[in-house]
Amino acid sequence: MAAAAAGEPEVIRDKAAMRAWSRRQRAEGKTVVLVPTMGFLHEGHLSLVSAAAAVPGPVAVVVSIYVNPSQFAPTEDLATYPSDLAGDLRKLASTGAVHAVFNPPDLYHRGSAVSGRSAEASSCLEAGGDGHETWIRVERLEKGLCGASRPVFFRGVATVVAKLFNVVEPDVAMFGKKDYQQWRLICRMVRDLDFAIEIVGSEIMREADGLAMSSRNVHLSPEEREKALSISRSLVNARTAVLNNSNSASKHIKDQIVQTLTEAGGRVDYVEIVEQESLVPVETIDRPVVICVATWIGKVRLIDNIEIYIQS
């Protein structure tokens, strides 16, 4: 495998150095492939790295590690978001497929503090004075599902991804389908803003027992971990039910998932059955859909989803 020649990835912390690196790679005829992450890497991330290495032709694979403050509301878990840079670098080196790691200390212009401003902050990125003020809104796709309970999340995601695109200038970027709405929203942003970047969505990686891999799983106690299995179990059962009954009513399927999650001790944020590209809810399941779930297990909010391909 050609990618095995990568060895130790070069760690780059400066934006200008990152862009210069990418331009050198492209000048040498390589396809620059970006895998954006927030670190604390697991097998799900490494599957994105494998997919990046498998892009045809000579590739230069860049993994970015940056916990983006602007996608967290002040009430959310930025402060406790897990990190382990040394471990991440070891894991990436062991793949032999990563050529550079982009790990900037900060990606935003921070404004001079404005008194009283923090009270009105809608995200963990405090941007008073002449600080960051430019936001990308994907107005329809940002609204439902996770956008309903996390109003600044997708604004922050779209904006930091655009920044990474402009710094790294990749030809291809990999996103996991576990963050399904994020993946669809990035595809839409790339289309609407004409980024010259191919977006690849990678399948969800699961533990042997079915739990979707997530950096936040580390916060689950053994009991919570057991309860969390209800998520993937309810989704697989829902798919079986849908495939066995043409034109299932969404409400019926959703009710069953909510019941399974609640009985297991979860506190449901949402269960939605939506069209795969528009994420518009469907009443009758007569076309390809994705069932998306967000639920709290103890203090941890977990998301998962399952695509169902039905001939319309």
Which residues are catalytic, by number?
Answer: 45
CB of 256 to a second copy, least distance (A): 30
For a second copy, the closer of residues 15 and 42 by Cβ is 15
Contact 202, 175 (CB under 8 A): yes
Residue 115 phi, psi (nearest 5): -65, 140
For a second copy, the closer of residues 133 and 203 by Cβ is 133
CA angle 171, 57, 191 (to 5 degrees): 25
Q: How many CA atoms lie within 13 A of 283 on its CB side?
A: 0
As beta bridge partners, residue 10 has 100
For a second copy, the closer of residues 153 and 195 by Cβ is 195
Q: Determine the interface stretch with a second copy among 93-101, 136-144, 212-220, 293-301 (rule: CB under 8 A).
A: 136-144
Q: What whole-number distance in Å separates Cα of residue 203 and Cα of residue 176?
A: 6
Contact 215, 301 (CB under 8 A): no
Q: For a second copy, how many residues bind (rule: CB under 8 A)?
A: 33
Among 13, 90, 140, 299, binds a second copy (CB under 8 A): 140
Contact 64, 168 (CB under 8 A): yes
Give the number of residues written for the chain.
312
For a second copy, the closer of residues 132 and 239 by Cβ is 132
Three-state DSSP state, 76:
coil
CB of 267 to a second copy, least distance (A): 31
The answer to the question of residue 157 lying near a second copy (CB under 8 A) is: no
The answer to the question of residue 109 lying near a second copy (CB under 8 A) is: yes
Using CB under 8 A, list all residues that contact a second copy: 15, 19, 107-109, 130, 132-141, 158-159, 162-163, 166-167, 169, 188-189, 191-196, 277-278
